[in-house]
Amino acid sequence: MAIELGHFALILAFAIATVSAIGGLAFRPAGERLALVLSQGAVLQFVLVAVAFAALIQAFVSSDFSLALAANNSHSLKPLLFKISGVWGNHEGSMVLWILILVLFGALVAAFGRGLPPDLLALVLATQSLLAAAFGGFTLFTSNPFARLVPAPLQGGDLNPVLQDVGLAIHPPLLYAGYVGFSICFSFAVAALISGRIDQAWARWVRPWTMLSWTFLTLGIAMGSYWAYYELGWGGWWFWDPVENASFMPWLAGTALLHSALVMEKRNALKVWTIFLSIITFSLSLLGTFLVRSGILTSVHTFASDPTRGLVILTLLALVIGGAFALFALRASTLRQGGLFAPVSREGALILNNLFLATAVGAVLVGTLYPLVLDALGGTTISVGAPFFNLTFGALMAPLLLILPFGPLLAWKRADIVGAAQRLLGAGALAIFLTILIASLGGRSISLAPLGLLLGFWVAFGAVAELIDRGRLGRIPLRESVRRLVGLPRSAWSTAVAHFGIGVSVLGIVATSAWQTELVTTLNPGESAELSGYTIAFNTFQEVPGPNYRAEQGSFTVTAPGGGTRPLTAERRIYGASGMPTTEAAISTYGFSQLYLQLGEPLDTTHVVRIWHKPYITLIWLGALLMAGAGVLSLSDRRQRIGAPRAAAKMVPEPGQ
Amino acid sequence: MTWLRVLVLICAVLLMAPAFAVGPDEILPNPALESRARDISAGLRCLVCQNQSIDDSDADLARDLRILVRERLLAGDSDEAVRQFLVDRYGEYVLLAPRLGAHTMLLWAAGPLLLLVGVGGLWLAARRHKRQQQGEMTDEEAEALDSLRQPSSER
């Protein structure tokens, strides 16, 4: 019964979305009443999809295997958390989650958007409803999550063991919140193109939504990367896999959008480009979610093995993305550019940022799709893997990182580059000094490592230098400096923290790539091995039962170089229902570095043990956390709180730096 | 990236025989040769996996290829000769970094080309901007000027 209610709720939401989309786009210009109806419709869509989603969760939690989805992806012995996360560990369920987040964002716009002009609000909500109708229809007609099984099996087929992890509970919702959040930017862009009106108030509206989505996406990608790192069992954290690239491209485009929306909000320039980026960012998000499921990217491992479903997805993508770009091509010329500035200025620096980020998006996109296209054209099949991306992406990021610290120190309109360079002198000198010191101490090093270190330090110290400069630290009494720093707008802190985070991530990437050490050996209980000064003793080996798996468990004791011991436990698991094995690596964190230990397969009478020492690897994710934290900080800035229409209406020139 | 994990792992899991990334029995006694073998392996694709190098992969095929690479190195092949040996056997698909050639020209040129296009676009936009600068004010500027002239109408 609950399942049918859920099914009905989803159908109803689809119907409301369809009516909202048609109504909002047909009756223009919309008045207060239509905007109100569409707002109510948006909230209603959210409530209905939430009911549908709750029905699915209920079926999974109560192990109702008459629901085909639960029978295929759940198991009565699975821990509760994994029963719930199993709802979105498959194609159909993840579609419902995707739509839930989509309509949630629509409802948020309806809730916060009272101050928007009714015509703009109606257009945004209509576009948002159009998306909900399109993807809701796709779910209902080609991948119905509410299909029943008769007769119901007694036990479910279990979820892929690899997905039975807290990672699945956190990673997809975060990632989807990021992807789908960009739909708001998309809807605003489409609304601006249709109405032909776009001003700074528009940018003031779009930027917080971009910031929110970007923050979620940053967390989602970082979380996914850490999940892959600890679960896959060999300590890799980024693979340039097509699916990873698909999540990385919207992030890059979203980062560019954040910066271009800033120029538009403050200086009323880059309008057309910002609109273009809004469309591109969400289009890449759609590619990220759906290209993988269409069956053209990865033929073996996709959810959507049904070729008709793949065709529907591709058609849908072509219509949404193509339609938006057609609209852009038709209407963009009606938007007037404004806000003049000299090449050397904050605007100029932000344009350079956009140039490199957009090029990086393009390069990653070409790298990801090139093998497909070449294959389709009847050419040879080639692989485009990590070596290609590292080179191309690295070459584009290096100049970006080099100019990054200058940006926040430049004034709007016309800036003094020599002055900015002077203020960065200390940061640069310190970065060079530390790099030379580490490179000379580090001994064996990869040729590019010093360059990477230099860039990482430069960006991190540059961010600090900006704060020091703004607080006039050392030039005025300390107490006065502190007062100034505390009084800085949160957005200034946010910029510094985010840029510092990038530097930290770069340092982590460089350090762990250049100085990681590895030991592959065979050990018996009672024996020990040594790596980078750590002594790892293999104590015992035993078989232990888990809730829905059997585990072979190895207990180790690690003695750190500075003394002190820690117990570590690594496992190999065999899951009962599927017979699939997984490895649970043992990870121990020392400062920012980690010791990563994996219990391998038995070899003759001994056990293969792989141990990695990964210096400063946690910096990679700490940097990402700093970036996400900076996003939150910026969102908490009262000056750009979501839906602060009064601030938008004022025409107060920004104070110069 | 949700599905990255699924992909890589399903691959690993489905194809898993009791073999994991480099095993202790595969490692060459000569550390210089072994380090060359690792470098070569990192650039070779595990053909039955999604997007893994044979150095990372757990699949049986990857293990066979790793052993093959080491055999060729022991036989005295240069790094390039080992790669060529594998390309002859499995096609260029086995290389994670595609070779520069007529068919990959666009791929390798894409990054620099896009950057050039971007710089060119910026240059054009700047030129147009400059021309605009010498002309009259834009609508927005006129609006702003109006609102400054009559501050009471805004409040």
Interface contact B19, partner A, CB < 8 A = yes
Q: How far is B56 from chain A (nearest CA, A)?
A: 7
What whole-number distance in Å separates Cα of residue A76 and Cα of residue A464? Answer: 53
Query: Which residues in B lie closer than 8 A to residue A301 (C-beta atoms)?
Result: 3, 6-7, 10-11, 50
Cβ separation of B51 and A224 shorter than 8 Å? no
Comparing CB atoms, the residue among B5, B50, B114 nearest residue A228 is B5
Interface contact B21, partner A, CB < 8 A = yes
Interface contact B48, partner A, CB < 8 A = no
Angle at A644 between CA A485 and CA A414, to 5 degrees: 55
What whole-number distance in Å separates Cα of residue A71 and Cα of residue A152? Answer: 8
Interface contact B10, partner A, CB < 8 A = yes
Burial class (CB in 10 A: 0-12, 13-18, 19+), A51: middle
Cβ separation of A163 and B5 shorter than 8 Å? yes
Query: Which residues in A lie closer than 8 A to residue B103 (C-beta atoms)?
Result: 374, 379-380, 382
Interface contact B13, partner A, CB < 8 A = yes
Q: How far is B26 from chain A (nearest CA, A)?
A: 10
Query: Which residues in A lie closer than 8 A to residue B155 (C-beta atoms)?
Result: none
Query: Which residues in A lie closer than 8 A to residue B120 (C-beta atoms)?
Result: none
Cβ separation of B6 and A651 shorter than 8 Å? no
Residues 79-98 on B with a CB inside 8 Å of A are: 91-98
Supply the pLDDT for residue B2: 47
Size of chain B, expressed as the number of residues it contains: 155
Comparing alpha-carbon positions, the chain A residue that sits nearest to B10 is A301
Comparing alpha-carbon positions, the chain B residue that sits nearest to A170 is B2
Comparing alpha-carbon positions, the chain A residue that sits nearest to B41 is A387
What whole-number distance in Å separates Cα of residue A563 and Cα of residue A17? Answer: 63
Alpha-carbon dihedral sign for residues B48, B51, B57, B63: positive
Peptide bond just before A655 cis, omega within 30 deg? no
Structural domains of chain A, ranges and CATH numbers in brackets? 1-160 (1.20.120), 165-405 (no CATH), 406-514 (no CATH), 517-614 (no CATH)
Cβ separation of A520 and B22 shorter than 8 Å? yes
Cβ separation of A175 and B111 shorter than 8 Å? no
CA-wise closest residue to B3 among A142, A318, A98: A98
Place of tokens 């000569």: B30
Interface contact B50, partner A, CB < 8 A = yes
Comparing CB atoms, the residue among A358, A582, A603 nearest residue B23 is A603
Q: How far is A303 from chain B (nearest CA, A)?
A: 9
Interface contact B66, partner A, CB < 8 A = no
Q: How far is B138 from chain A (nearest CA, A)?
A: 7
Interface contact B126, partner A, CB < 8 A = yes
Cβ separation of B6 and A301 shorter than 8 Å? yes
Cβ separation of A363 and B114 shorter than 8 Å? yes
Residues 28-47 on B with a CB inside 8 Å of A are: 42-43, 45
Query: Which residues in B lie closer than 8 A to residue A343 (C-beta atoms)?
Result: 126
Chain mean pLDDT for chain B: 77
Cβ separation of B2 and A175 shorter than 8 Å? yes
Burial class (CB in 10 A: 0-12, 13-18, 19+), A334: exposed
- More confidently predicted of A461 and B146: A461
For the segment A375-401, what is each residue's pLDDT rounded down to a tens digit? Answer: 888 777 888 888 899 999 999 999 999
Size of chain A, expressed as the number of residues it contains: 657
Cβ separation of B4 and A340 shorter than 8 Å? no
How many other C-beta atoms lie within 10 A of the C-beta of residue A528?
14
Interface contact B155, partner A, CB < 8 A = no
How many other C-beta atoms lie within 10 A of the C-beta of residue A484?
15
Which one of A174, A382, A520, A549 makes the best mutation probe of the B interface by having the most chain B beta carbons within 10 Å? A382
Q: Which residues of chain A, if any, have pLDDT below 70?
A: 233-234, 292, 294-307, 336-339, 442-447, 638-657
Query: Which residues in B lie closer than 8 A to residue A377 (C-beta atoms)?
Result: none
Comparing CB atoms, the residue among B27, B111, B133 nearest residue A359 is B111
Establish, for the pair of chains A and B, how many residue pairs have beta carbons separated by less than 8 Å. 200
Q: How far is CA B111 from the centre of its chain?
A: 11
Supply the pLDDT for residue B7: 43
Interface contact B24, partner A, CB < 8 A = yes
Supply the pLDDT for residue B8: 44
Q: Superfamily for B2-99?
A: Cytochrome C biogenesis protein (1.10.8.640)
Structure tokens at A278: 């809004």
CA-wise closest residue to B4 among A71, A86, A301: A301
pTM for this entry: 0.88
Query: Around A456, how many Cα atoms within 13 Å sit in the side-chain half-sphere?
Result: 23
Q: Which residues in A488-564 belong to E strands, given as ranges? A: 517-523, 528-531, 534-545, 549-559
Cβ separation of B4 and A241 shorter than 8 Å? yes
Burial class (CB in 10 A: 0-12, 13-18, 19+), A646: exposed
Question: Across the beta sheet with A534-545, what order do the strands follow?
Answer: A528-531, A534-545, A549-559, A565-575, A581-584
Comparing alpha-carbon positions, the chain A residue that sits nearest to B153 is A650
Cβ separation of B97 and A385 shorter than 8 Å? yes
Helices A166-195, A91-112: crossing angle, 10 deg rounding? 50
Supply the pLDDT for residue B5: 47
Supply the pLDDT for residue A182: 95
Query: Which residues in A lie closer than 8 A to residue B98 (C-beta atoms)?
Result: 382-384, 388
Supply the pLDDT for residue A371: 87
Q: How far is A120 from chain B (nearest CA, A)?
A: 19
CA-wise closest residue to A522 among A643, A583, A610: A610
For the segment B26-52, what is each residue's pLDDT rounded down to a tens digit? Answer: 888 888 888 889 889 888 888 877 677
Cβ separation of B111 and A395 shorter than 8 Å? yes
Cβ separation of B118 and A521 shorter than 8 Å? no
Domain assignments of chain B as residue spans, ordered by start: 2-99, 103-154
Comparing alpha-carbon positions, the chain B residue that sits nearest to A385 is B96
Cβ separation of A160 and B10 shorter than 8 Å? yes
Comparing CB atoms, the residue among B8, B114, B138 nearest residue A338 is B138
Comparing alpha-carbon positions, the chain B residue that sits nearest to A337 is B138
Query: Which residues in A lie closer than 8 A to residue B132 (C-beta atoms)?
Result: 337, 340
Query: Which residues in B lie closer than 8 A to residue A519 (C-beta atoms)?
Result: none
In sequence order, the β-bridge partners of residue A529 are A536
Interface contact B106, partner A, CB < 8 A = yes
Q: How far is A483 from chain B (nearest CA, A)?
A: 33
Alpha-carbon dihedral A346, A352, A353, A359, rounded to 10 degrees: 160
What are the C-alpha distances in Å from A213 to residues A126, A178, A251?
Answer: 20, 4, 9
Cβ separation of B3 and A243 shorter than 8 Å? yes
Backbone angles phi, psi at A551, to 5 degrees: -125, 140
